[in-house]
Amino acid sequence: MEELKPNPGKNLVIEVDGKKFARYPVKTKLITPEDTDISLIIGPAVKTHVRKEDIVFISEKAVAITQGRSYPLDKIKTTWLANTLSRYVLKTPVGIGLGSPQTMQLAIDEVGILRILLAAAIGFIGKLVGVRGLFYIIAGDKARSIDGAVPYAIPPYNTHVSKGPVNPGKIAADLAGKIGVAVSIVDANDLGVNILGSSEGVNNKLIAKIIKDNPLGQSDEQTPVGIIRPL
């Protein structure tokens, strides 16, 4: 059995609330839209490694790709509104967020023009008084989980934009039934973590703390799935 090791620059073990947990990243094949059943990838990847007490966590982008929700940049037709609003979104070194016309367009498509305009207005007021992040709070999880094209992503996804997955809670529950351990679908980067859906009995707040440093990595690690193990 292949030994699981932490990704470069990441620690294997983290201590949360006085308890220690290992986070094992698991490498898989390159996931493509032709892989329409995520369980056929996750199951074989983790089956020789998981124990009963483990929790498997999966990148939301990997799930979204299998649902056909990853799009080449040149296939996304952007509107004037998307082009305009994206100019005012804070861009960071670890992710573009909705700071490109293409990601903003997908956000508009996902949650609607009115909600995006409301989020933009409240976000602008928040910046005036020194409060950041209100845009994403109002826009919601569907907008927040959209991933932009970044040069350090593994090809071809360095030129793709992805929406969040559909029904992540159901997917997590179905996967848990197939692989025999708890499952969480997570939206994680080097700025923070959002748990999109989990199987029954999972403490989402605890999972977010355990993977707060994004042990799956942010670049070309090709480890879209990981195993959390209490020590």
Q: Rounded to whole angstroms, how far apart are CA atoms 31 and 100?
A: 24
pLDDT at 93: 60
Average pLDDT over residues 48-55: 95
Contact 116, 101 (CB under 8 A): no
Structure tokens at 134: 């209100």
Structure tokens at 231: 């020590």
Structure tokens at 102: 């293409």
Q: Is the pTM of this model over 0.75?
A: yes
Quick one: which H or E segment has residue 187? strand 182-189
Any idea which of 47-56, 194-203, 213-222 has the lowest mean pLDDT?
Answer: 213-222
pLDDT at 2: 65
Residue 140 has pLDDT above 60, yes or no: yes
Residue 1 has pLDDT above 60, yes or no: no
Q: Rounded to whole angstroms, how far apart are CA atoms 107 and 121?
A: 15
pLDDT tens digit string along 148-178?
888 888 899 999 999 999 999 999 999 999 9
Confidence band, pLDDT 50/70/90 cuts, at residue 199: very high
Peptide bond into 6 cis (omega under 30): no
Average pLDDT over residues 50-58: 96
Name residue, tokens 């090709």.
222
pLDDT at 151: 86
Residue 135 has pLDDT above 70, yes or no: yes
Confidence band, pLDDT 50/70/90 cuts, at residue 75: very high
Average pLDDT over residues 119-141: 90
Confidence band, pLDDT 50/70/90 cuts, at residue 92: low
What is the set of domains in the chain, with CATH numbers?
Answer: 13-69+165-230 (3.30.1330.100), 75-162 (no CATH)
Percent of the chain with pLDDT over 70: 96
